[in-house]
Amino acid sequence: MKTLIGDIGGPILKNKAFFFFNFERLRIRQAADLLYPPDAAPLAVSYSTFLPVSSENYFGRLDYQINPSNNISIRAVFDPNRVDGQSHVDQKRTIQAMRIERVPSPGETFINGQWLRVMGNRMVNEFRMHRVNENLQVGDRRMFDAAGSNTIFKDNQFLGLKGIDQFDFGAGQTHPDYVTGPYASPGGANVTTTLFTEQLTFTPTKHTVKIGGGASKNGGVNIVGTNFIGLFTFPTNAAFDAANPSTYPNRFSIQLGEMFRPMKDWRTDAFVSDKWQATRILTLTLGVRYDFQHEIPQTKNAYSPRLGMALAPTDKLLIRAGAGKFYQYQSTAIPANLFAGAVNAPVFTFDTGQDNSALAGRFPANVCLLPVNNAGQAEISPACRTQLAAQRNALGSAGFVNTEPVLDGHRVMGYLWSYDVGVQQQILPQTAITVDFVATRGHDQTQRIDINEPRLLANGTIGRPGPSVFDPDGTLIPASARNAAFQRVLQYQSRPEFNTDSNALEVSLVRRLANRWSGRAAYTLSKARDVSSADRAEGRVVDDLNPRRDYGLSNYDNRHAFTAGGNWDPWRGLSTGATFRFYSGNPVNETVGLDTNGDRDNTDRPVKGVDDKVRPILSPVDGQGMAVRNGIPGAHKTILDLRLSYVHKLQDQRTAGFFWEIYNALNNVNFGNVIGIRNASQFGQSIVADTARQMQLGVRYTF
């Protein structure tokens, strides 16, 4: 790892205008180690290599003092990054399937402007303007030219295939224990957010009153190329052999049509709060906030009250309590998904669904599951290409129907109620203990539900009911499309079944700096539960007819967390520090790895007596014998970091010094979570570990 840091600053006009500029450059050769099971060869062979991570950060600031009452400041950050193989180990990707990330010119930028005006002894006004541009492109290595171009998308055109048809580029390949072939999902975003905020602070007598508001405009293009070149899914790790039916794929999907999805959204907010020193020992905080999001007009009453209290009955005891309601804006990806998922959309995702003929030793029937062999990898066959080309040509025509649409439903802004109560007590000079209890309850959360989920039909069979059942009044599916054979029909819904909850008990012991040393130790016992944590609005459940069956531990649940740290200054200019951390880890969801219930989702969890004949179920099971969601305990982490630094003062406020930092000083092997996919050869094993011991030595000179 190589780091270069430099900064310079000073006056432009004496006592009026000042500037500051900082530059940071980071170059990392990131270790990439993956151990594949023997049956993954020859497509996936264990390797150890290094992948480049390049990060640069430019920061500039200008301050201008107009007069004693008015100050203007402008800050800007420019951040061009280049990353190869991000999350490659967690995704079990071969070198061939690496995800390449580039930030094209002008890169990602952040600009902030502030006007601070002092309006007398008791009133201050702050006006701020922010502008953020996210410009990111990801794709396969071959989609970027050999010279290292940063651009594969330009002017709403996809340049990355360089004139090659998407059917001829080569398809991605996913097996239970590895992913290979080209990176199948090119994409990115070019989105700009402009935000204005205004806040007036007034401090009459024992009150501190704040009144303010803001507005933001979010606009641009989301680039979504999920499986744009096609993705073959295999039920085993074996390389594809056209003569062996057991090696054939059991699913193929590809996105046809428009990749560029417009995104726009307006948001506004307003608030008022009052911090009131009611008595010498009691402080109250009261406030209310209002939020509005243009893309969710159904939310009309997004008022969120806040209440806080601090009571200090003695000089050594402090009691705190608070409660508040907090609204959450929905993702700007939802309107883009609705655009692409319309019944007559310019986008269509072809999906064969799952065909497990290969597991039974039979050749699949669907022509798109009968690929051409290329050195053990599957490629789209001529017969499948003919079918896909015809569907691609039909996009946008009057008779085209998207049989797997994504529709809007009753969708409102979700909100949280948060509660906390705590006590802080001084137990020794400069030392205090704090105990807090924090709870949150989430309501009106949004997820996608398949309203055409297979169920028991009137004729006694199991099947999808069609528009006559999920859309009896014809408000979702137009008359021209109601006779189509719809598969999944996903609808965004805000429902009480998606409610969340979390509770945490926090205990900390803090010693302020005295006699050259300070320290802190903290322990948190917590539990968080929800219905779907991973990108919640896009999440899926096992049973769309009963979403609450997925209620369980959150992906981010971390039952135990302990940290301790301290600093010691043994001699002038010399400082030492240490931080110790222990985390019990996030849980793992145990899945079958196949679409066992035929709903075209691959989220099915094992059932006792059905899926445990070869290997046991590691998770607890619910009353119906199904493994509970996130039922496998996560891997714990133990980390010790050390720091030593020395700063020597020179003349004229100049300093020189060095610092030495050691991360994971004990070189403890912190394994990642075990694999929870049951048809993987490495099920129940951990194949990744966090970073080994690292050291950083630096020198610093200030002038």
Q: What is the pLDDT of residues 272-314, one digit of tens each?
A: 999 999 999 999 999 999 999 998 988 888 999 999 999 999 9
pLDDT (mean) for 619-638: 96
Query: Of 467, 324, 323, nearest to 407 (Cα)?
Result: 467
Residues whose CB falls within 8 Å of the CB of residue 608, separated by 6 or more in sequence, listed in order: 617, 621, 625, 626
Pull the structure tokens for residue 385.
């290409």
State how far the Cα of 230 lies from the Cα of 188, in Å rounded to an integer. 18
Looking at residue 144, what is its pLDDT?
A: 85
Q: What is the pLDDT of residues 635-648, one digit of tens each?
A: 999 999 999 999 99
Q: Is 626 domain-assigned?
A: yes
State how far the Cα of 156 lies from the Cα of 423, in Å rounded to an integer. 56
- Mean pLDDT lowest among 45-59, 251-265, 469-483: 45-59
- Mean pLDDT lowest among 427-441, 466-480, 526-540: 526-540
| Cβ neighbours around 418 below 10 Å, total | 17
Q: Given pLDDT bands bounded at 50, 70 and 90, which one contains residue 536? A: low
Q: What is the pLDDT of residues 421-472, one digit of tens each?
A: 999 999 999 999 999 999 999 999 999 999 999 999 989 999 999 999 999 9
Q: Given pLDDT bands bounded at 50, 70 and 90, which one contains residue 535? A: low
Q: Report the percent of the chain where pLDDT is more than 70.
A: 98
Looking at residue 374, what is its pLDDT?
A: 94
Return the H-helix or E-strand segment holding 334: helix 333-340
Q: 């669907």: which residue's tokens?
A: 366
Looking at residue 105, what is its pLDDT?
A: 72
Q: Tally the domains of the chain.
A: 1
Q: Is 114 domain-assigned?
A: no
11 upstream amide cis, omega within 30 of 0? no
Looking at residue 405, what is its pLDDT?
A: 95
Q: Is 671 domain-assigned?
A: yes
Does position 375 have pLDDT exceeding 70, yes or no? yes
In contact, 562 and 584? CB cutoff 8 Å: no
Does position 149 have pLDDT exceeding 90, yes or no? no
pLDDT (mean) for 500-517: 96
For the chain, give the number of residues: 703
Q: What is the pLDDT of residues 667-689, one digit of tens each?
A: 999 998 999 999 999 999 988 88
Look up the domain containing 637 and give its range.
Answer: 558-703
Q: End-to-end distance of the chain based on CA atoms, in angstroms?
A: 26
Looking at residue 690, what is its pLDDT?
A: 85
State how far the Cα of 493 lies from the Cα of 334, in Å rounded to an integer. 12
| Cβ neighbours around 329 below 10 Å, total | 18
Q: Is 444 domain-assigned?
A: no
Query: Of 623, 628, 639, 573, nearest to 606 (Cα)?
Result: 628
Q: Which residues of 652-675 are buried (b: 16+ CB within 10 A; e: fewer)?
A: eeeeebeeebbbbbeeeebbbbbb
- Mean pLDDT lowest among 240-249, 335-344, 582-591: 335-344
Does position 616 have pLDDT exceeding 80, yes or no? yes
Write the CA distances from 417 to 286, 337, 356, 437, 555, integer angstroms. Answer: 15, 29, 46, 14, 20
- pTM, whole model, 2 decimals? 0.89
Looking at residue 15, what is its pLDDT?
A: 87
Cα dihedral value 508, 509, 512, 517, nearest 10: -120
- Mean pLDDT lowest among 37-51, 130-144, 524-538, 564-578: 524-538
Looking at residue 354, what is its pLDDT?
A: 93
258 backbone dihedrals φ, ψ, rounded to 5°: -65, 130
Looking at residue 148, what is its pLDDT?
A: 58
Q: Report the percent of the chain where pLDDT is more than 90.
A: 75
pLDDT (mean) for 20-33: 82
State how far the Cα of 439 lies from the Cα of 32, in Å rounded to an integer. 39
Q: What is the pLDDT of residues 77-96, one digit of tens each?
A: 988 777 776 677 777 889 89
Quote the mean pLDDT of the chain: 92
Q: Is 697 domain-assigned?
A: yes
- The backbone region for 474, taken as left when phi is positive above 0, alpha when psi lies in -120 to 50, beta otherwise, is left
Between β-strands 500-514 and 517-530, what pairing exists: parallel, antiparallel or unpaired? antiparallel
Query: Of 168, 176, 180, nearest to 97 (Cα)?
Result: 180
Q: What is the pLDDT of residues 155-193, one digit of tens each?
A: 888 989 988 999 999 999 999 999 999 999 999 999 999
Q: Is 590 domain-assigned?
A: yes
Q: Is 610 domain-assigned?
A: yes
Does position 97 have pLDDT exceeding 70, yes or no? yes
687 backbone dihedrals φ, ψ, rounded to 5°: -115, 0
Q: Is 575 domain-assigned?
A: yes
| DSSP sequence for 493-533 | EE-GGG-EEEEEEEEEEEEEEETTEEEEEEEEEEEEEES--
Looking at residue 84, what is its pLDDT?
A: 76
Looking at residue 534, what is its pLDDT?
A: 59
Does position 51 have pLDDT exceeding 70, yes or no? yes
Dihedral sign for Cα atoms in the order 164, 393, 226, 266: positive
Q: Given pLDDT bands bounded at 50, 70 and 90, which one contains residue 349? A: very high
State how far the Cα of 681 lies from the Cα of 669, in Å rounded to an integer. 23
Which range of 202-206, 497-501, 690-694 scores highest in mean pLDDT? It is 497-501
Amino acid at 102: R
